[in-house]
Structure 1
Amino acid sequence: MGKTVRRPKAKGGTTMGYHPVSIGIIGMGHVGPHTANSLILQGIADEILVCDANEDKLGAEVQDLNDSTVFAPHRVVVTNCHTDYEKLAQCDVIINSSGQVTLSAISRTGELFKSVDDARLFAGRIAAAGFSGYYVNVTNPCDVVAREIHRLSGLPASHVIGTGTCLDSARLRTVIALKSRLAPESIQAYMVGEHGNSQIAAWSSVSIAGKPLSGLSDDSRFQMDGAEAESLARRGGYIAYNGKQCTEYAIANAATRIVRAIVHDEKVVIAASVELNGEYGESGLFISVPCIIGSDGVEKIIEIDMNAAERQGFAASCEVVRSNYAKLAPFGIEASRTLPITLPKHEGDDRKLD
């Protein structure tokens, strides 16, 4: 895959080695269309290839998005790829936003099984078509689905990134910003662990201008309840969901932020769901920690300082993710690449399937 940054024109007006930025999106329910719109309005993508099994919704979104590109910073073409997932193999980055969020209110395992089954329907097919780019997974449970995409795709772990606690960390920074009356950009703060109820705030590592927040307590605006701030950051998504049965704008922008970091080689530190191999004393799972993201995907995992209670909470969160892995029915890599794909039934699957 070539460099995906925009290049200037050479003398004489010819374009020097330009590589159009091609982004694929799987799932055009709530998050997918908003992510496409964000990619268009921020001028990140040159072409967007979209897939969904709901043909009516997919066709409508493609029409609406293409109409909107008249007002974009530059020309973008949005292409309807139906469920021809192999067409996405040409993309630089594929965003997975498939799934059924309403299942989370009915059955947490139902959402787990639905999301994993969706990934099992496309990851192997795209791999067999020669995909060598990057995945950004939005679909929940984010950590489990990211690991399944990595397993079936055959890509290096650095090429698969879950949005994880990227948004939760932004919420934590917002809580601190409102209390301290500072811009969120001036605050370093991370939620780590599962993208779910077991995530924790790495409160002892929160800093402003390189100074730990705990060292600024002589100023009343920096005196805040860490447990309350953590709770507010964790609950943000539930407030949005309870009011409109989905989350869409913020998570779409979180996914777009990670894509931008990759295609523009930003080398920015973001909390995201990545594979751990000994970091924080954990291995063999995807979970959110701060990491450097650039044109090589996950370029480095940063091990921030955590106190004993935070480390204990992080370890417990890792166990929650592992317990979800254990609920999945075995499914071989070869089976994911052989059509037709036959999905095994998960033990304890309580969905009402047709």
Structure 2
Amino acid sequence: MKKRIVGIIGVGHVGAHCAYAIAIQGIADEIVLIDANAQKAISESQDLMDSCMYFPHRVDVRPGDFADLKDCDVIVNSTGNIDILRNNHDRLDEMDFTIKAVSGYVDKIMASGFDGVIINITNPCDIVTSQIAKLSGLPRGRVFGTGTGLDTSRLRTCLARETGVDHKSINCYMMGEHGASQMAPWSAVSFGGRSLEDCAKTDPRFQFDREAIRKEAIAGGWVTFSGKFCTEYGIASTCARMVNIVLHDEKQIMPVSAELCGEYGEKDLFVGVPAVIGAKGVEQVVELPMTDEEYQQFKGCCADVRKNMEHIKDIK
């Protein structure tokens, strides 16, 4: 039986928690950790292997180098410098560091012979995902980002609190830029198949302030960051779920940062959209029916991402 192998590049706060989430759930048989600080990868591998001794399943965790990524089914890119955000809550501030980092090692990944799926969680997620896809030359869909996946989870949590409906019974999405301009297509929100609009006609619980909820979902990450100067558990579980979906070819629809090639009237752009995820990564972008106002909001998100991408030209 073929081993399920996952590589993780960058094992700081987020990368280490991703590794632990994947290990403790038994998602992978082997996890390879790579970090610019070789000792960090060694130390995290040791700590994770100590924890694995008491799992009901077997997992091997080891430090490695880019050449060791050859046989990986999935690579998680989590390189970053979270301290950059201490003075300004803007994910774009990380771009100078993260774009330079991935531009320096994507060729090493591909030189190893890697031919799997890359999931990017590094910010700014849409822009870094696009850069990895461009430099790797992998087929469309084989590189995608966590994008608005975690923001969608926060939206469900907010809606559950407002309505009293369990979050697993709520279908909704955050879309567009993984950042301040992302939007929520309210016309696509449903509760057990019943639309938000229909529920709001007769039940005051569903007549909440939609803009306030959208902003709360976006700001959730900064609430986490403000007290601990990092985010870990939410993104780690989101990443682990996506890795599991790919390894088991689940064909699940999740919001991810995916390449648009005509969908929603956009092309040559990575933004947060619902998509079918399977063994080949993003296998289909799902186009939600939206109102004219929602469509324009989404187009605004895309314009913001394009504008922000221009900064890549200035990074040396």
Q: Normalised by the size of structure 1, how large is the TM-score?
A: 0.86
Q: Contact 2:100–2:315 at 8 Å: present in 1 too?
A: no
1:241 to 222, 225, 246: 225
What whole-Å deviation, never above 9, does each CA across 1:233-278 have from its counterpart, x for those lacking one?
A: 1110010011111111000111111111111111111000000001
Partners of 2:218 and 2:34 lie apart in 1 by: 31
Give 4+ residue runs of structure 1 displaced > 3 Å after superposition: 105-110
Alpha-carbon shift at residue 165 of structure 1 (Å): 0.2
| Aligned position for 1:322 | 306
Alpha-carbon shift at residue 101 of structure 1 (Å): 1.7
| Aligned position for 1:296 | 280
Amino acid at match of 1:20: K
Q: CA RMSD of the aligned region, Å?
A: 1.4
What whole-Å deviation, never above 9, does each CA across 1:3-51 have from its counterpart, x for those lacking one?
A: xxxxxxxxxxxxxxx1111000000101111111111111101000010
2:83 to 102, 110, 113: 102
| Aligned position for 1:194 | 177
Alpha-carbon shift at residue 220 of structure 1 (Å): 2.6
Partners of 1:40 and 1:129 lie apart in 2 by: 24
Amino acid at match of 1:250: G
Amino acid at match of 1:207: S
| Aligned position for 1:86 | 67
Count of residues paired in the alignment: 313
1:308 to 285, 292, 296: 292
2:124 to 141, 149, 153: 141
Amino acid at match of 1:37: Y
What whole-Å deviation, never above 9, does each CA across 1:49-71 have from its counterpart, x for those lacking one?
A: 01001233222211110101112
Gaps of 5+ in 2: none
1:258 to 235, 242, 247: 242
What whole-Å deviation, never above 9, does each CA across 1:166-207 have from its counterpart, x for those lacking one?
A: 000010011111112121110100000011111011111101
Partners of 1:314 and 1:276 lie apart in 2 by: 13
Q: Contact 1:157–1:274 at 8 Å: present in 2 too?
A: no
Alpha-carbon shift at residue 222 of structure 1 (Å): 2.3
Between structures 1 and 2, the one with greater helix share: 2
Alpha-carbon shift at residue 110 of structure 1 (Å): 4.3
Alpha-carbon shift at residue 104 of structure 1 (Å): 2.8
Partners of 2:56 and 2:142 lie apart in 1 by: 28
2:208 to 194, 211, 224: 224
Partners of 1:346 and 1:231 lie apart in 2 by: 30
Q: Contact 1:161–1:273 at 8 Å: present in 2 too?
A: yes
Partners of 2:261 and 2:170 lie apart in 1 by: 28
| Aligned position for 2:154 | 171
SS of the residue 1:135 aligns to: strand
Identical amino acids, percent of aligned pairs? 44
What whole-Å deviation, never above 9, does each CA across 1:104-160 have from its counterpart, x for those lacking one?
A: 344655410111111112211111221110000000000001011101111012101
2:256 to 264, 272, 288: 272
Gaps of 5+ in 1: 1-17, 330-344, 348-354
Of structures 1 and 2, the larger Rg is shown by: 1
| Aligned position for 1:6 | none
SS of the residue 2:141 aligns to: helix
SS of the residue 1:192 aligns to: coil
